Chains A and B, each alone.
Chain A
Amino acid sequence: AQSVTQLGSHVSVSEGALVLLRCNYSSSVPPYLFWYVQYPNQGLQLLLKYTTGATLVKGINGFEAEFKKSETSFHLTKPSAHMSDAAEYFCAVRNPLDMGRRALTFGSGTRLQVQP
Chain B
Amino acid sequence: GAVVSQHPSWVICKSGTSVKIECRSLDFQATTMFWYRQFPKQSLMLMATSNEGSKATYEQGVEKDKFLINHASLTLSTLTVTSAHPEDSSFYICSARVKTGQGQDTQYFGPGTRLTVL
Question: Residues of A at under 8 Å CB distance from B?
Answer: 36, 41-46, 51, 90, 101-109
Could you say which of B13-21, B62-70, B103-111 contacts chain A?
Answer: B103-111
Cross-chain contact A103 with B49 (CB below 8 angstroms): yes
Cross-chain contact A109 with B112 (CB below 8 angstroms): no
Closest to B57 in A: A101
Cross-chain contact B42 with A109 (CB below 8 angstroms): yes
User: How many chain B residues have a CB neighbour from A under 8 Å?
Assistant: 26
Contact partner, A43, options B32, B93, B105, Cβ 8 Å: B93
Cross-chain contact B104 with A51 (CB below 8 angstroms): yes
The distance in angstroms between the C-alpha atoms of A103 and B51, with both chains bound, is 12
Contact partner, A41, options B32, B45, B97, B114, Cβ 8 Å: B114
Report the minimum CB–CB distance from B89 to chain A (whole Å): 14
The distance in angstroms between the C-alpha atoms of A108 and B40, with both chains bound, is 11
B23-53 vs A, CB cutoff 8 Å, 1 = contact: the mask equals: 0000000001010000001111110010000
Cross-chain contact B49 with A41 (CB below 8 angstroms): no
Query: Which residues from chain B contact A105 at a C-beta distance below 8 Å?
Result: 46
The distance in angstroms between the C-alpha atoms of A36 and B36, with both chains bound, is 14
Report the minimum CB–CB distance from B96 to chain A (whole Å): 11
The distance in angstroms between the C-alpha atoms of A36 and B44, with both chains bound, is 11
Question: Residues of B at under 8 Å CB distance from A?
Answer: 4, 6, 32, 34, 41-46, 49, 57, 91, 93, 95, 97, 104-112, 114
Query: Which residues from chain A contact B41 at a C-beta distance below 8 Å?
Result: 109
Query: Which residues from chain A contact B95 at a C-beta distance below 8 Å?
Result: 44, 104
Cross-chain contact A108 with B43 (CB below 8 angstroms): yes
Closest to B49 in A: A101
Q: Can you name 25 A-B pairs with beta carbons within 8 Å?
A: A41-B91, A41-B112, A41-B114, A42-B111, A42-B112, A43-B4, A43-B6, A43-B110, A43-B112, A44-B44, A44-B95, A45-B109, A46-B106, A46-B107, A101-B49, A102-B105, A103-B34, A104-B34, A104-B95, A104-B107, A106-B43, A106-B45, A108-B42, A108-B43, A109-B41
Query: Which residues from chain B contact A46 at a C-beta distance below 8 Å?
Result: 106-108
